[in-house]
Amino acid sequence: MPEKKLRYAGIGCQHQGWADISRIVTHPAVEPVAFCDIDKRHFVHVDKRWPDLPKFSDFRELFKQMKGKVDAVSIGIPDHSHAIVTQAALDAGLHVYCEKPLTHTVWEARQIAATAKEAGTVTRMGNQIHSEYQYRTIKPVVQEIGAIGKIKEVHSWISAAGHGRSGLIERPENPESAPAEVDWEQWTGPAPKREYGGDYVYHPRFWRDWQDFGTGSIGDNGCHLLDPIFTALDLTAPISVHSNHSGMNDEVYPAQETISYVFPGNKWTADDTLRVTWYDGGRRPTLKFPGLPKGEELPQPASIMIGEKGYLLVMHWGEPKLYPEKDFADFKWPELDEANHYHDWVDACLAGNTEISDNFAYAGPLTETVQLGNVAARFPGKKLEWDAENLRITNLEEANQWLTREYREGWSVEQRA
């Protein structure tokens, strides 16, 4: 057994939160010390394994009562509360593993990246496939091997639209009050106050659809599919973003959307700009290039990088592929050491390695890009020009209000950048 232990608390104990907890604790150096969830029903797994450990519904009480007794936390809760809980954890001097997307808004992503830099603790975003072979191999194939030459354009697509209910749905007309097991004040957090609604209206599963709580399909999946594109091409911030979609109201996200980003070019791109196009809700690219399958024949979810010398299919699950197949029949894929997204974070915490990949210095800009897509969705058909340095949309003033949100009293994320 390792001599040094990482005293760990899990915030969010069901669904993805439990998936994170159950994997983090498989590291032999991890010592669970506390758990937090706004729904007492979500402690079912925790109670079976650690019945005597303290449990909280309020993350602030966790940090207060366990001060000096916790080294690291995972945060697996709805998107709208990521930033406020993460900032509090960083301010408490804790190492943080936060689920994707890092934050609910563009502005929050900038603040959390700045807070993490100040804290100097070890951070990592929970887009676990970042550490899988099919994503990690893309960077050496593009940068070291140069298999398809410089990149001309990129397309990413997924069938999902939130959890399949996004579109034009409305709040329930006769919302139910929260059951006794649910601390609805804590769950609502920074968002505007509303009634619980009923099980499976928002909590515990369908909050992703709702603008006040989730971030739609691009928020749910963009930090996955765009991640290997960012790492392979050293992308940071786009210079413009444009959305068209199937329609939306003031409550939920579009059922189908296409988002076009334009990034500044660099030494890995064929031109002085690079277009990256996102598709969801069943939309996908129509690709007609020699040696490449037609768009409707491509598997999903996936991305494809169009290069000067060929095409690289980046599978979300499954092995990547190179096209035209005849040109790459003898291609040797890189051999990489195995990686464990959770264990590598624990190891970094124990070693004080703040430079671990997928830290908040990286996850912040990736999340900003993803959430800019949701800003563009409010102005379909209009290209928004983005000044990342000054955190401003320069050509449409009314769009800037959507970079952040109005916080309920007592639930504000603090400005750090």
**pLDDT greater than 90 at residue 412:** yes
For residues 226-232, give the mean pLDDT: 98
114-141 confidence digits (pLDDT tens): 999 999 999 999 999 999 999 999 999 9
The pLDDT of residue 295 is: 76
The superfamily in CATH containing domain 130-337+359-417 is: Dihydrodipicolinate Reductase; domain 2 (3.30.360.10)
**pLDDT greater than 50 at residue 1:** no
Positive or negative: CA dihedral 36, 37, 41, 43: negative
Q: How far apart are CA 412 and CA 271, in angstroms?
A: 42
Q: What is the DSSP string of 270-302?
A: SSSEEEEEEEETT-------TTS--GGGS-SSE
For residues 60-79, give the mean pLDDT: 98
Q: How far apart are CA 335 and CA 144, in angstroms?
A: 13
Fold topology of 6-129+340-358: Rossmann fold (3.40.50)
CB atoms under 10 Å from CB of 96, counted, come to 29
The domains of the chain are located at 6-129+340-358, 130-337+359-417
**pLDDT greater than 90 at residue 232:** yes
Residues 263, 276 contacting (CB under 8 angstroms): yes
Residues 319, 311 contacting (CB under 8 angstroms): no
Q: What is the DSSP string of 373-413?
A: HHHHTTSTT-PEEEETTTTEESS-GGGGGGGS-PPPTT-PP
For residues 234-253, give the mean pLDDT: 96
The pLDDT of residue 176 is: 94
Q: In what order do the strands lie in the sheet with 95-99?
A: 55-56, 30-36, 6-11, 72-75, 95-99, 123-126
